[in-house]
Structure 1
């Protein structure tokens, strides 16, 4: 998967500035070449479930108001809501993107599971089984863009392998949880 920094309105790198050019790419970095200013960028990551995405959109909206560039990595069905909030959207790969409005159809056998077993099924199939594909998408996005902070809701497990990168060479990684 290949991403372009400017595709998502993310910060361009200093080397991307042409001699004497005024930088105005999505308003992220601006000024003359020798005085380029940078707006911090945050990547919000969420499993493609309404109850997980909605709080991340609210957080992203506030971060944007506070001057951050915000990109949300989540399911494709949330694109309109994310863009209406003034945030950039990057869809998860099809292998880990699903429609949460009919989980029993998307995950056969789920409807037969009672209570605790359904929770275990969900943890395994909706979250744990998606780690590798979520991580590949997250890693590609982080490697191709100027992200300062990765903020993931607590069941976007694709962020876990990112934590294995050396702390000095990776973005700050944080988790969102309820108190």
Structure 2
């Protein structure tokens, strides 16, 4: 059995997909140390892994993005994507590397596993040559001649004209729009003793891993003729949560005749519920639907509503594993894990994404025909209400979501990921110490 070292950023949406893979690896007898935020210690230990704290690196678990990184407040579009990557992941990478190298002195791992933005683990991989696995918790992050760079939220185009467009946009990103980030990345790498990588901006942070496991299916991702060969589609990273679930008192209301509309702003970009959750509650107050709204990091007592409509059920957290089978429409700011879970249950989507890579996820939803991209992070009540009615009126959204649901059934993300990790371990590459 192998010694496996895992690192995740202290973000809830990054923890739970990884937990499904850890559950599978532990069940196969592997020994796991998991470097993560202190908020996750009890959950990690319940899974049978050994928790390791973040010492040098910033542990912002339990905080919203705006609480932890006030400089990101109000950013939208490309600047939101790049500044978030810089603040949450690149700036933390050298300190994460320091922590992880210290752990390796005690725990000679056979393989390293992190999410695709786990750049500290990527640095360690380059320094030690220990095989690395990236669990991709969002859209495919490498460039392609068939797609525009991440940040433009454009559909794919592999025609001759499309490839010219894509190349021109890559040149603009690398030479003009993200020139400052490019310099910062190069300085970060040289600062930890690694050479500069001669690649596009977002691909020059770390070397590609030995395995890149995408938590979706090919039907949701843009077609590309130049996928990295180590890329594998594995389906959703979902398992029954490690915590016990006590349904709220209103749970039987889900068995009624009203369509169920779920609205969420996820677990990171949720400091201002006036962006999506509260407008949705108001927009649907008089509609024949039951609205289930989750607030994430915001306590219910802090929700600024004079009164709660009769057709709304408000909770801080509900495990979507239990809720999604009841949902008819999901309104979301575009968190990747929630989108994939919804589609794996055949649930059409309404996406209002403006931060991180969420506009890209919204564009994927529209391209796949499984929902509506509102093209804003702050939709009006009328936009939300009209979108819900459009989903209900046009059966194609539901039909397309059900087609993807049928494809998801061919995959078991945790099992497939564990199989591929074990295949990598069988190769037993020489470690560099």
Asked if TM exceeds 0.5, the reply is yes
**Corresponding position of 2:77:** 115
* Deviation, structure 1 residue 56: 1.3
**In structure 1, C-alpha distance between the alignment counterparts of 2:51 and 2:40, rounded to whole Å:** 8
- Alpha-carbon deviations, 1:95-116, whole Å to 9, x = none? 3211253221111121221233
For structure 1, list consecutive stretches of 5 or more residues without a partner in the other structure: 1-38
Q: CA deviation at 1:163?
A: 2.8
Distance 2:128 2:99 in 1: 19
Looking at structure 2, the residues matched to 161 and 109 of structure 1 have their Cα atoms a distance apart, in angstroms, of 26
TM value normalised by structure 1: 0.70
2: distance between equivalents of 1:116 and 1:100?
A: 26
Contact 2:3 2:108 in 1 (8 A): yes
Match of 1:91 among 53, 57, 60: 53
- TM-score (norm. length: structure 2): 0.30
Check conservation: 2:39, 2:62, Cα contact below 8 A.
no
Could you tell me which residue of structure 2 aligns to residue 17 of structure 1?
Answer: none
| Secondary structure of the structure 2 residue equivalent to 1:141 | helix
Gaps of 5+ in 2: 137-213, 215-232, 234-433
- The equivalent residue for 1:54 is 16
- In the alignment, what sits opposite 1:150? 112
Structure of larger gyration radius: 2
Rounded to whole Å, the distance in 2 between the matches of 1:79 and 1:166 is 27
- Quick one: distance in 1 between partners of 2:132 and 2:64? 31
Q: Give 1:127 shift.
A: 0.4
Picking from 21, 24, 41, the partner of 2:3 is: 41
Which of structure 1's runs of 4+ aligned residues deviate more than 4 A? Answer: none
- The answer to whether the aligner puts 1:80 opposite 2:80 as a matched pair is no
* CA distance in 2 between partners of 1:134 and 1:63 (Å): 23
Q: Which structure carries more helix by proportion?
A: 1
Displacement of 1:174 after TM fit? 2.0
Q: 1:65: how far off?
A: 0.3
How many corresponding residue pairs?
A: 138
Larger relative contact order, structure 1 or 2 (CA cutoff 8 Å, min sep 6): 1
